[in-house]
Amino acid sequence: MNFPNISKKMAAPVAGEEKGGEHITGNFDPTALERGAKALKELDQSSNSKKAFELIKLQELTKQKEYEKQMEELSLQKAQYLSNKMRIENEEKRKTINYQQEQERITAEYKTRLEAEAYQKKLLDQQKQNEEWLKNQHEQYLRQENIRKRNELELLNLKMKQIREEKSLERENMKAKIQEENKGLIERERKNLDIHLKTLRMKADEERKTKLESIGKYFEQFNNSMFLFLNDRERLYRFVLVVTLTSVGIYTTKHTTRLIRSYVETKLGKPKLIRETSLWHINKFFDLFNLKKNLLLMKNILQRRSPKESNFFTNIVLNEELQEKLSWSINSLTNSKRYDLYLKNILLHGPPGTGKTLFAKTLSHFSNFDYIIINGGDVSALGVHASVELNKIFDFIKRRKNKKCVIFFDEAEAFLRRGRNESSAHFSESLRNALATFLYHTGTESKKFCIILATNCREILDPAVIDRIDEQYIFDFPKINEIRKMLSLYFNKYVFPLKKYNIVVDASIDDLYLDVLASRLVGLSGRQISKLCLNIQNCVFGSNSKVVSKDLIDLIVSWNLSNSFETRGEMQTSRQHVAAPIPRGSASGISPGATKEGDSNAGTNSGENSKPDMGLGVGANVGSNLAGQPSTVAASMARSVAGLSGDDSKEENSPQVKTKVGMQH
């Protein structure tokens, strides 16, 4: 503890006085005392001496208080120092105790580890001993088993040998016994042969006599009945009258029913060729009792408003230029009904899957017109009845007064293709009649119906059909902008709704990724893009994956691209062959036997045979037919196709294939 040095402070003035009195010699300076005495005298003589004394006393008290305060501060510092010292000592003791406990714990752990290692080593030694003992026991057991099996095998061989000898003796005894019995039976039958023959003859004579007597009695009763019936004229007349009236009634009922049915079908029924229609017919009367169909009908009625109100192109992605032209046609069609104008005929052509059928069906459903949807394959499949059914369709429309109708022919090339001037082997008589019927009904402008034709190849249509078309629109493969819109549409329809099935869609699948994906899908049709998105959904469920990631989508896209470009090359090659003159003997949709009139089987061919043969082989020139594709892709596809064909030919001639074919036969 530090205390203030009071003696030094009190001696300070003396030191100063020494400096002031430089002329004084010696160690003692009396000037200070003199000044003090002089000051005391002046103070005693002054009237403020008491106040000065009190002031001095107060100053002394103040100094005392200051000294006391310093003493208290010093005592407080001392107490704080002692407290810090005790705290530090306690902290050091605590650290020492913790260190001792840690060392004890480490020692205990080390001791426990040593004991565990020793116990583990003991267990391993014991396990080795047990394994050796078990091994010895097992070897001993195997030796005993081998000895037992060998003994049992020897006993079994002896028993089998004994049984074979016993069976051989038993078989010889049985053979000798049977031979003896057969000898006795044969001798007995030889002796009784005459008796058996006589018995059989007597039995046959009795059966013949019985049958002859029964037949004679039957004819005798029949003759008596017929004699009585013919002699009774009243009964005979009644019988003839009943038979005649019954025959007339059956014939009349049959033909009357046929006439009534024909009349009802003509006036109220729906022709067979119509796949779908909004016009009323007798079949819709029975649908009134079907709640589900009534709800769908109300929905269609509500949706059938003007295309502007229903946002016609919501689910259809087309080229902007084509969309603008189609909008004009739609508006023209709507105004034609409003102002009772003549309707135009429209042709939609282009590669498969580019939206022709979707556009026509959407126009049929969402326009203010009634609609009829017909498949061209159905027309060719009817054979000789095709022209009759086409007449029924146009009569069906004409009977509806003050109604305008859109007639959509899908796959129109099935019965409207060129070839009328060729022989019947190339173009059947029934198809020629159907084409003539169509041309007859569409020869002049009409205010009743609008014809919409959809075909994949415009070149194979008959020139007279094309001459009746007012507007032609080509639906080509979508470009990158249309593909981007399709991806947004189909991802929102098929991929993103997977979240409700607890399937996570990767956050990186955003607009930027769809832009990159759209650049990869250039050259695909709209249907192929739709199937691609649907395939993503199916693959997610098929793989039981809970995450839709970029890697999964890229893998599926690679698979689909390889298949899609190969299919497109085949389609373009087949289109080139179809556009060329049809060779003799090719499939024309009607079998050669169906060209004869009156042949009831002429129209039994399916819709597949009614279309041009699209199953033509693909050669090495597939790559050159892929319009709009990079040359490297086309060349690689051509090489792959050529390589595949070469490999196939090699495999057919290989010995392994011949062996397989021989095994199959």
Give the whole-angstrom CA distance, residue 665 versus residue 655: 15
**Confidence at residue 427, expressed as pLDDT on a 0 to 100 scale:** 72
| Final residue before a domain boundary, out of 434, 454, 476 | 476
Residue 591 lies in a domain: no
Instruction: Kindly calculate the radius of gyration of the chain based on its CA atoms and give it in whole angstroms.
Output: 59
pLDDT of residue 395: 86
Examine the domain organization and report whether 42 and 183 are in the same domain.
Answer: yes
Which of the two residues, 400 and 125, has the higher pLDDT score? 125
Q: What's the mean pLDDT in 261-269?
A: 69
Whether residue 121 is predicted with pLDDT greater than 80 in this model: the reply is yes
Residues 343, 442 contacting (CB under 8 angstroms)? no
> What is the CATH classification number for the domain harbouring 301?
3.40.50.300
Strand, helix or coil for residue 477: coil
> In b/e form, how buried is each residue of 82-113, taking b as 16+ CB within 10 angstroms?
eeeeeeeeeeeeeeeeeeeeeeeeeeeeeeee
Binning pLDDT at 50, 70 and 90, where does residue 573 land?
low
pLDDT at residue 285 is higher than 60:
no
- CA dist 26 and 660 (Å) reads 146
Are 183 and 62 in the same domain?
Answer: yes
- Whether residue 26 is predicted with pLDDT greater than 60 in this model: the reply is no
DSSP code of residue 494: I
At 324, the amino acid letter reads E
Out of 427, 453, 476, a domain closes at 476
Mean pLDDT of 174-201: 85
Between CA 403 and CA 413, with CA 409 as vertex, the angle to 5 degrees is: 155
123 falls within a domain: yes
Q: Per-residue confidence at 620, pLDDT binned at 50, 70, 90?
A: very low
Averaged pLDDT for residues 493-512: 86
> With contact defined as beta carbons under 8 Å apart, do 393 and 441 qualify?
no
Angle between helices 526-542 and 550-579 (to 10 degrees): 140
Percentage of the chain surpassing pLDDT 70? 72
- 322 and 178 belong to one structural domain: no
The better pLDDT of the pair 643, 397 is held by: 397
C-alpha distances in angstroms, 175 versus 45, 165, 179, 184, 186?
Answer: 184, 15, 6, 14, 16
- Model confidence over 508-542: pLDDT tens digits? 888 898 888 988 888 888 888 888 888 888 888 88
Angle between helices 291-303 and 356-366 (to 10 degrees): 90
3-state helix, strand, coil in the chain (%, to 5): 70, 5, 25
- The residues that bridge with 374 in the sheet, in sequence order, are 274, 409
pLDDT of 505 strictly over 60: yes
Confidence (pTM): 0.47
The DSSP secondary structure of 384-430, one letter per residue, reads GGHHHHHHHHHHHHHTSTT--EEEEEETGGGTSBS-TTS-TTTS-HH
Domain boundary among 455, 476, 497: 476
DSSP 343: B
Residue 48 lies in a domain: yes
185 and 281 housed in the same domain: no
Is residue 382, in this structure, part of any structural domain at all?
A: yes
432-476 confidence digits (pLDDT tens):
888 999 999 998 888 888 999 999 888 889 999 999 999 998 888
Quick one: pLDDT band at residue 576, thresholds 50, 70, 90?
low
Residues 320-337: tens digit of each pLDDT: 788 888 888 888 887 887
Q: Cβ distance 564 to 556 under 8 Å?
A: no
pLDDT average, residue stretch 233-254: 88
Clarify whether residues 425 and 298 are in a common domain: yes
Domain-located, residue 223: no
566 domain-assigned: no
Asked if residue 87 and residue 181 are part of one domain, the reply reads yes
Query: What is the tally of structural domains in the chain?
Result: 3
Instruction: Check residue 165 and give its pLDDT.
Output: 92
Averaged confidence pLDDT in the chain: 75
Residue 513: burial class (beta carbons within 10 Å; 0-12, 13-18, 19+): middle
Residue 174 included in any domain: yes
Q: Tell me, yes or no, whether 312 and 183 share the same domain.
A: no
Tokens of 284: 């819709």
Side-chain-side CA neighbours of 175 within 13 Å: the count stands at 6
Confidence category of residue 119, pLDDT binned at 50, 70, 90: very high
Q: What is the pLDDT of residue 9?
A: 42
Amino acid at 358: L
Provide the pLDDT for residue 150: 92
SS3 label, residue 274: strand
pLDDT of residue 114: 92
The 3 state secondary structure assigned to 561-614 is HHHHHHHHHHHHHHHHHHHCCCCCCCCCCCCHHHHCCCCCCCCCCCHHHHCCCC
**H or E element at residue 262:** helix 233-267
Domain range spanning residue 96? 6-21+31-191
3-state class of 451 per DSSP?
strand
In a domain, 600, yes or no: no
Torsion angle in degrees (nearest 10) through CA of 568, 572, 575, 576: -160
Check residue 336 and give its pLDDT. 81
Which among 334, 337, 330 is positioned nearest to 359, based on CA atoms? 330
Q: Hey, which bits of 238-319 come out as E strands?
A: 274-277
pLDDT at 603: 35
